[in-house]
A and B are shown apart, each in its own frame.
Chain A
Amino acid sequence: MKVVGGRRVFSVEEVTARLATLFEGLRSFWVEAEVQDLRPSRSQVRFTLRGGHVIDASMNGVVYERLPHKPADGGLVQAYGRMEFWRARGLVSMRVERLELVGEGLLRAQVEELRARLAAEGLLDAARKRRPPLLPRRIGLVTSADGAARADVLTNVWARLPEADVVAVDVPVQGDDAPRLIARALRYLDALPEVDVIVVARGGGSLEDLMAFNGEPVCRAVAASATPVVSAVGHERDVTLCDLVADVRVSTPTAAAAAVVPSREALETHLTDSAQALGRGLLRARAGAEEALRGRSGALARALRGRGELAGDRVERLAPRLAPALRRAAAAAAGRADRAQAMLGLLSPSRTVARGYAIVREAGGGAVVADAAGVEPGRELELELRDGRVRATATGRLS
Chain B
Amino acid sequence: MTTEGPGEAPLTFEEALRRLDEVVARLEGGEVGLEEAVALFEQGQGYLAACRERLAAAQRRIEELTAEGLPPAPGEPPAGESEPPF
Contact = CB atoms under 8 A, between A and B. Distances in A.
Q: Do A and B bind each other?
A: yes
Interface of A: 110, 113-114, 133-135, 137, 142, 145, 154, 158, 161-172, 176-177, 179-185, 187-188, 211-212, 214-217, 264, 267, 270-271, 274-275, 277-282, 284-286, 288-289, 333, 336-337, 340-341, 343-344, 347-349, 359, 365-368
A39 B60 CA distance: 62
Contact of A170 (B59, B66, B79): B66
A334 to B, nearest CB: 9
A133 B12 contact: yes
Contacts of A168: 62-65
A180 B62 contact: no
B85 A347 contact: no
A278 B45 contact: yes
A336 B38 CA distance: 8
Nearest to A142: B67
A347 B45 contact: yes
A136 to B, nearest CB: 9
Nearest to A110: B86
Contacts of B45: 278, 340, 343-344, 347
A178 B59 CA distance: 31
Contact of A274 (B13, B48, B53): B48
B30 interface: yes
B17 to A, nearest CB: 7
Interface string B31-43: 0111111101110
B85 A179 contact: yes
Nearest to A216: B86
Interface of B: 12-14, 17, 20-21, 23-24, 27-28, 30, 32-38, 40-42, 44-45, 48-49, 51-68, 70-73, 76-77, 79, 82-83, 85-86
A164 B37 CA distance: 36
A267 B55 contact: yes
A112 B24 CA distance: 49
A167 B63 contact: yes
A282 B45 CA distance: 12
A41 to B, nearest CB: 31
A264 B56 CA distance: 11
A176 B82 contact: yes
A271 B52 contact: yes
A184 B59 contact: no
Contact of A349 (B14, B52, B59, B67): B52
Summarize B's interface: helix, strand, loop or mixed: helix
Given A158-B60, A165-B59, A274 B44 contact: yes
Given A135-B13, A271-B51, A347-B49, A281 B62 contact: no
Contact of A162 (B12, B34, B60): B60
A337 B38 CA distance: 6
B77 A180 contact: yes
A211 B61 CA distance: 32
Nearest to B72: A184
Contact of B58 (A163, A170, A181, A187): A163
B62 A285 contact: no
Nearest to A111: B86
A260 to B, nearest CB: 13
A226 B38 CA distance: 40
A281 B29 CA distance: 9
Nearest to B20: A274
Given A169-B67, A281-B28, 6 more contacts: A163-B60, A167-B62, A179-B83, A184-B70, A284-B30, A285-B33
A110 B67 CA distance: 26
Contact of B65 (A169, A216, A284): A169
B48 A180 contact: no
Contacts of B21: 274
Contacts of B60: 158, 162-165
Given A184-B76, A349-B56, A286 B34 contact: yes
Contacts of A114: 86
Nearest to A212: B85
A275 B17 CA distance: 12
Contact of A367 (B14, B57, B65): B57
A368 B56 contact: yes
A270 B77 CA distance: 49
B24 A183 contact: no
A279 B42 CA distance: 10
B41 A289 contact: no
Nearest to B40: A281
